[in-house]
Amino acid sequence: MAGIAIAGNPNAGKTSLFNHLTGAAQSVGNYPGVTVERKEGVARLNGRRVSVVDLPGTYSLTAYSQEELVARNFIIEDGPDLVVDVLDASNLERHLYLAIQIMEMGAPLLLALNMVDVAKRRGLDIDHAKLSELLGVPVVPTVGSKGTGIKELLQRCIDAIDGKVSVSPRAVTYGHEVDEEVDTLAELARGVTPLAARYSPRWLAVKLLEGDPEVEKKVVELGGQAAPALLEAARKAVKAIERHCGDDCSTVIAERRYGYAAGIMKECVTLTGEAREMNTDRIDMIVCNRFLGPLILVGVVAALFFTVFKVSTEWAWVPWFGGWYAPVDWVEWFFERLAEAVAGLEPRAPILHSLISDALIAGVGGVLGFVPLIFTMFFLISALEDSGYIARVAFILDRVLQTFGLQGKSILAMIVSGGLGAGGCAVPGVLATRTLREEKDRLITMLVAPFMNCGAKLPVYAMLIAAFFPHRHTQMMLLLWAFSWVVALCAAWVLRTFVIRGEQTPFVMELPPYHVPVLRSLLLHTWDRTWMYVKKAGTIILAINVLLWALMYFPQPPDAANGNATPQAVAPPHASEAEQAADALAHSYAGRFGRALEPVTQYAGFDWRTNIALVGGFMAKEVVVGTLGTVMAMGDVDPGQSETLSQRLAGDPAWNPLKGFALMIFVMVYAPCFVCMAVIWRESGSWKWALFSTVYSTIIAFVLTVLIYQGGLVLGLGAPQGS
């Protein structure tokens, strides 16, 4: 099957085109050996199937970041039948830079001139036929957000693969003095057979002049005895160019690429009239205003939380068996029916009943019960991403981050981790630090990014807010969002001041034009994220819950182990069944461990049952909900009990709003999950930083929680429920 690689700048509409081409026939994984996301799909036209790979979005192929290196290596090493470079027609000159670098490789190339509607509104008339003639490759106008030109694009791709259309780009020129050196080096590279057979000699020459370390390494590996002479010739050529041009050679080549792009623009782009002020510009005057911008950001986040909880937990809009349910209520109804269905197992197989009812239904079911909420959050955040607003958030918060010792680009990692609400993940957030070139900036960012409210923490918040703050969903989530930023920024300042000192680097980023999000793309993106959450609940969380259930069930009290379901050997004869069940849980391995921690954790308001749940949270934050559900269920003697975990906590006299809030803060701040710790280890290159991340965040969490809980007690906020 023929293969197409889709390249392009971030925000060029590359993903929209990919989604239109492949539809639901997509798979998501990682490139071999790295953690950069790999999206693949299959496009179909008139019975013809074509494999499509969506390369990471990059501004260039200089291999400064892992995304750039992955994209470049795929084009060179994997040799796709065709590279489709997606250009933003409204910002053509900037986007031509990447196209020129692909042309340098000699790869078969087709250009998708996307967002031509936006360019037209800006008063730009692009002669795509002339552009095709100048570059020597096909150019197809498209509007990815509307699906316009997609069929034509796919047909031209198939024609190109079949050899019906020429896709061999013209040679890029850099000026006489540079071209001479490039041609000389290219001729030398042609004489080194292992190199010439694998790479374009002219591309090799250009990269050697730029001092690309990855290419120099390839020359040494494959060039054999000829490698030293080729590298020496490159060094002499660099000196000659720098002597002639009076500037760094790599800078000269970059400037010549931009000059080449500017020359093309003059030939094929005309203004149809006076360039009109874009809606984007008018909106940015308000959204990016120094004073209004932060206020609008708070309003957007508040609206986000309000909508998420209204749609998923409060508005009854799902019809079911003659009634109307909120989505979360419908899922809870489903698991309640499951609990009732297995209730009859208890007399005949108490252990099996406990496993199914307590570990699976109460534990995993408690986590899956928040799937509608997670889906809604992911959908809305995806809409903000596609609209272009996320980039404005980075711009708005840049000055704040710089004040606290973070690099401006750190905002991207923070947002990915959940900085815009509660729908991110710290794992890709830590991976996003690869865009930071300074190692100290990277390290500080990956140590504070886990403080953001990732999607795994959202079920914990939702459960506790429903229990203790049922009428203040929006206000509480907004408070937790603000609190996470305060903790992250203060931690960054401390790390920059006392632990990881170093100079900060400036922040430069491109603000894309605003777009109306495409529903199809939103649903695909949301489904991918939600399905990952469901798979996590069905694998990792399930395994952890079963393990913790076993630790909470065994060893049984002596009388229970002998077949007596009532553990009288542990509980006094006059104890109620609920007390006996609680004592049996306390007798278990997990109960003993939780009680061992209680003399310390009591100052934060946590009893031994909460301690068990928090230990499970070291593996995955969602486990806190599942484990707490299991703990509460195992203390319940009524097999037909159908109360939700939130209802059980709200009715438990040992719990109150102060304890609920303290637990939310602790879950927010304490150690990142096990997977995140592993990624920090890998990205930092040292297990010491992963251990440091775990220890220092847990200490901060405990200190904050103690201060909040003890302060609340002093203020008289720790009264038991119902008092």
Can you give the pLDDT at residue 133?
92
| Contact indicator for 15, 521 with CB cutoff of 8 Å | yes
438 pLDDT higher than 70: yes
Per-residue confidence band for 508, with pLDDT thresholds at 50, 70 and 90:
low
- Determine if residue 106 is left, alpha or beta; phi over 0 gives left, psi from -120 to 50 gives alpha, anything else beta: left
| Contact indicator for 712, 663 with CB cutoff of 8 Å | no
Please list, residue by residue across 243-262, b when 16 or more beta carbons sit within 10 angstroms of its beta carbon and e when fewer do: eebeeebbebbbebbeebbe
Backbone angles phi, psi at 269, to 5 degrees: -120, 130
656 pLDDT higher than 60: yes
Most distant pair of Cα atoms in the chain: their distance: 99
Please state the rounded mean pLDDT for residues 67-80: 85
Question: How many separate domains does the chain show?
Answer: 1
| Contact indicator for 109, 83 with CB cutoff of 8 Å | yes
Higher pLDDT, 670 or 619: 670
Helices 589-601/542-553 angle, 10° precision:
90
| Contact indicator for 532, 540 with CB cutoff of 8 Å | no
Per-residue confidence band for 118, with pLDDT thresholds at 50, 70 and 90:
confident
Rounded distance between C-alpha atoms, residue 609 and residue 75, angstroms: 54
Token couple for 439: 């190692």
Per-residue confidence band for 146, with pLDDT thresholds at 50, 70 and 90:
confident
Higher pLDDT, 412 or 662: 662
The dihedral through the CA atoms of 483, 488, 492, 494 has a sign that is: positive
Per-residue confidence band for 112, with pLDDT thresholds at 50, 70 and 90:
very high
Determine, yes or no, domain membership for 635.
no
| Pairing between β-strand 269-271 and β-strand 139-141 as defined by DSSP bridges | unpaired
| pLDDT above 70 as % of the chain | 89
Rounded distance between C-alpha atoms, residue 692 and residue 178, angstroms: 50
Determine, yes or no, domain membership for 257.
no
Higher pLDDT, 386 or 571: 386
Rounded distance between C-alpha atoms, residue 445 and residue 319, angstroms: 45
Rounded distance between C-alpha atoms, residue 576 and residue 568, angstroms: 10
Calculate the average pLDDT of the chain.
84
Determine, yes or no, domain membership for 489.
no
Range of the domain at 98: 3-161
Give the pLDDT confidence of 192-213 residue by residue, as tens digits.
888 888 888 999 999 999 888 8
CATH of the domain at 76: 3.40.50.300
35 pLDDT higher than 50: no
Determine, yes or no, domain membership for 415.
no
| Contact indicator for 85, 123 with CB cutoff of 8 Å | no
Per-residue confidence band for 601, with pLDDT thresholds at 50, 70 and 90:
very high
Give the pLDDT confidence of 689-712 residue by residue, as tens digits.
999 999 999 999 999 999 999 999
| Residue closest to 31 by CA, chosen among 69, 76, 58, 62 | 69
CA 17 to chain centre: 20
Can you give the pLDDT at residue 538?
75
* Amino acid identity for residue 18 in this structure: F
For the purposes of burial, counting CB atoms within 10 Å of the CB of 391, is it exposed (0-12), middle (13-18) or buried (19 or more)?
A: buried
Rounded distance between C-alpha atoms, residue 646 and residue 630, angstroms: 13
Give the pLDDT confidence of 481-504 residue by residue, as tens digits.
999 999 999 999 999 888 887 665
CA atoms within 13 Å, Cβ hemisphere of 520: 14
- Give the three-class secondary structure for 82: strand
106 pLDDT higher than 50: yes
| Contact indicator for 63, 434 with CB cutoff of 8 Å | no
**pTM here?**
0.70
Max mean pLDDT range (180-189, 402-411, 437-446, 510-519) = 180-189
- Give the three-class secondary structure for 42: strand
353 pLDDT higher than 70: yes
Q: Which residues contact 288 (CB under 8 A, 6 or more apart)?
A: 392, 395, 396
Please state the rounded mean pLDDT for residues 385-401: 82
Please state the rounded mean pLDDT for residues 235-260: 89
Can you give the pLDDT at residue 134?
92
Can you give the pLDDT at residue 194?
83
Determine, yes or no, domain membership for 21.
yes
Determine, yes or no, domain membership for 316.
no
Please state the rounded mean pLDDT for residues 349-372: 83
Determine, yes or no, domain membership for 376.
no
Can you give the pLDDT at residue 611?
93
Can you give the pLDDT at residue 227?
86
Can you give the pLDDT at residue 636?
56
Can you give the pLDDT at residue 606?
95
DSSP string over 477-500: HHHHHHHHHHHHHHHHHHIIIIIS
Can you give the pLDDT at residue 268?
92
| Contact indicator for 467, 650 with CB cutoff of 8 Å | yes
CA atoms within 13 Å, Cβ hemisphere of 50: 30
| Contact indicator for 620, 673 with CB cutoff of 8 Å | yes
| Residue closest to 35 by CA, chosen among 691, 686, 675 | 675
| Pairing between β-strand 48-54 and β-strand 3-8 as defined by DSSP bridges | parallel
Token couple for 695: 């220890």
CA atoms within 13 Å, Cβ hemisphere of 542: 12
ω into residue 555 within 30 of 0, thus cis?
Answer: yes
Rounded distance between C-alpha atoms, residue 254 and residue 259, angstroms: 9
For the purposes of burial, counting CB atoms within 10 Å of the CB of 353, is it exposed (0-12), middle (13-18) or buried (19 or more)?
A: middle
Q: Which residues contact 570 (CB under 8 A, 6 or more apart)?
A: 557, 558, 559, 580, 583, 584, 586, 587
Query: Which DSSP symbol is given to 530?
Result: H
| Contact indicator for 473, 305 with CB cutoff of 8 Å | yes
Higher pLDDT, 245 or 572: 245
| Residue closest to 489 by CA, chosen among 437, 388, 419, 557 | 419
383 pLDDT higher than 60: yes
Rounded distance between C-alpha atoms, residue 412 and residue 419, angstroms: 9
273 pLDDT higher than 60: no
Give the pLDDT confidence of 603-620 residue by residue, as tens digits.
999 999 999 999 888 888
Can you give the pLDDT at residue 395?
81
Please state the rounded mean pLDDT for residues 564-588: 60
Give the pLDDT confidence of 517-527 residue by residue, as tens digits.
878 778 888 88
Tally of residues, the chain? 723
Rounded distance between C-alpha atoms, residue 120 and residue 215, angstroms: 40
- Give the three-class secondary structure for 193: helix
| Contact indicator for 234, 185 with CB cutoff of 8 Å | yes
Q: Which residues contact 295 (CB under 8 A, 6 or more apart)?
A: none
22 pLDDT higher than 50: yes
Can you give the pLDDT at residue 572?
54
Determine, yes or no, domain membership for 243.
no
The 3 state secondary structure assigned to 226-287 is HHHHHHHHHHHHHHHHHHHHCCCHHHHHHHHHHHHHHHHHHHHEEECCCCCCCHHHHHHHHH
* Amino acid identity for residue 676 in this structure: C
Weakest-pLDDT range from 123-127, 171-175, 273-277: 273-277
| Contact indicator for 458, 423 with CB cutoff of 8 Å | yes
For the purposes of burial, counting CB atoms within 10 Å of the CB of 574, is it exposed (0-12), middle (13-18) or buried (19 or more)?
A: exposed
